[in-house]
Amino acid sequence: MTNKEIKALISLLDDEDPDVVAHVHQKIVDLGESITPFLEEAWEESLNPEHQKKLEDLIHDLQYEALLRRMKGWKEEGAEDLLYGMWLINTYQYPDVSLEKIKQTIAELFYEAWVNVRPEMHPYDQVKSLNHVLFKLHHFSANTKNFHAPGNSMLSQVLESKRGNPLTLCVIYMLLAQKLGLPIYGVNLPNLFVLTFKGDILPQFYINVYNRGLILTKSDIDNYIQQLNLHPIDIFYEPCAPIDIVRRALRNLSLSYEKLNDPEKATEIERLLDALADEPAPGAEDGSEGESGDPEDGSGGEEDM
């Protein structure tokens, strides 16, 4: 379609016939995300609040469908790039924030971490030095005052405000640590996301980023699991995959919208989560089992993290 035809099509959203409006809406959706600039221009030129609302809904629908396609594509390509996966979640609420902008912010933090964390240090000292950079110099901390805010799951917002939930703070910490060459990975504990330092030099230990990088032992994890009246299983102790982290971030975000009494957004996030679901095992009935390796299953609810 020519630019003139696209603008003429958008103008029909103001038609009095609801069937015409519905047809035009679907036609615009079929044209895809490339039509968004035309919708934004029409919104700026409109003085009719109802017409503007129709345009806003259309823009959201186009951006959401594009996000859903990207999320499916990320999974199909192996879902290895954690930063990209977290950026995709970020675009749900902040579609204009580029991946490059987030990378640049992390690169700035990395340089400061690189100055302070040296390869010859003992692993405990490396963790303490990284803690110093993030929690002392840059004042990252838990957002306890507004725990269920959706922004706590948005990487760009956490990097800007220095406040987040356990998982997003752990993601930032882990991205920096791995860029430094440290064997630090995410661990899917029930109700609390933590990190583990799993190298060849000394016994595996854990890091509670939500508590300013507190170092924990396996015994501490054992006690935590026991307090929850759960049986210890491997996923409570061992590194999890990037896709598991992104799934958990989506569950957190869905919960945030539920807490805010916004079921439409919660449902949209659930659709994104479905796009990352494991393929059912051969012979298994649809919906018969929960997500493989999901620490929330049977844990009495997820309030986190």
Last residue in a domain, options 214, 242, 270 = 242
The pTM of the full predicted model, rounded to 2 decimals, is 0.86
pLDDT digits (tens, 9 = 90+) for 155-168: 999 999 999 999 99
With contact defined as beta carbons under 8 Å apart, do 59 and 39 qualify? yes
Q: Are residues 53 and 130 in the same domain?
A: no
C-alpha distances in Å from residue 153, one per residue of 90, 114, 145, 247, 259: 8, 26, 15, 12, 14
Q: Residue length, the chain?
A: 305
Question: CB count, 10 Å around CB of 122?
Answer: 10
Question: CB count, 10 Å around CB of 271?
Answer: 14
C-alpha distances in Å from residue 157, one per residue of 31, 89, 195, 215, 259: 31, 12, 21, 26, 19
Detail the DSSP E strand segments found in the chain: 141-142, 163-164, 184-189, 192-197, 205-208, 214-216
> Domain range spanning residue 49?
3-76
pLDDT digits (tens, 9 = 90+) for 117-143: 999 999 999 999 999 999 999 999 999
Query: Which band of pLDDT confidence, cut at 50, 70 and 90, is reported for residue 299?
Result: very low
Query: Which band of pLDDT confidence, cut at 50, 70 and 90, is reported for residue 27?
Result: confident
Token readout for 301 is 């609810």
Among 207, 203, 204, which residue's Cα sits nearest to residue 195? 207
Q: What is the rounded distance in angstroms from the CA atom of residue 26 to the CA atom of residue 98?
A: 28
Q: Are residues 92 and 237 in the same domain?
A: yes
Q: What is the rounded distance in angstroms from the CA atom of residue 132 to the CA atom of residue 134?
A: 6
CATH number at residue 140: 3.10.620
Q: Are residues 141 and 222 in the same domain?
A: yes
**pLDDT the model gives residue 6:** 85
Q: Are residues 94 and 53 in the same domain?
A: no
Q: Is residue 98 part of a domain?
A: yes
Q: Are residues 220 and 236 in the same domain?
A: yes
Q: Does 242 have pLDDT greater than 50?
A: yes
Helix then strand then coil, in percent of the chain rounded to 5, is: 60, 10, 30
Q: Are residues 89 and 42 in the same domain?
A: no
The torsion angles phi and psi of 195, rounded to 5 degrees, stand at -120, 160
Q: Are residues 92 and 153 in the same domain?
A: yes
Among 225, 227, 242, 226, which residue's Cα sits nearest to residue 295? 225
Q: Are residues 72 and 46 in the same domain?
A: yes
pLDDT digits (tens, 9 = 90+) for 247-293: 999 999 999 999 999 999 999 999 999 999 987 645 544 333 233 33
Q: Are residues 132 and 31 in the same domain?
A: no
Query: Which band of pLDDT confidence, cut at 50, 70 and 90, is reported for residue 34?
Result: confident
Q: Is residue 262 part of a domain?
A: no
Q: Are residues 119 and 197 in the same domain?
A: yes
**pLDDT the model gives residue 289:** 29
**pLDDT the model gives residue 280:** 60
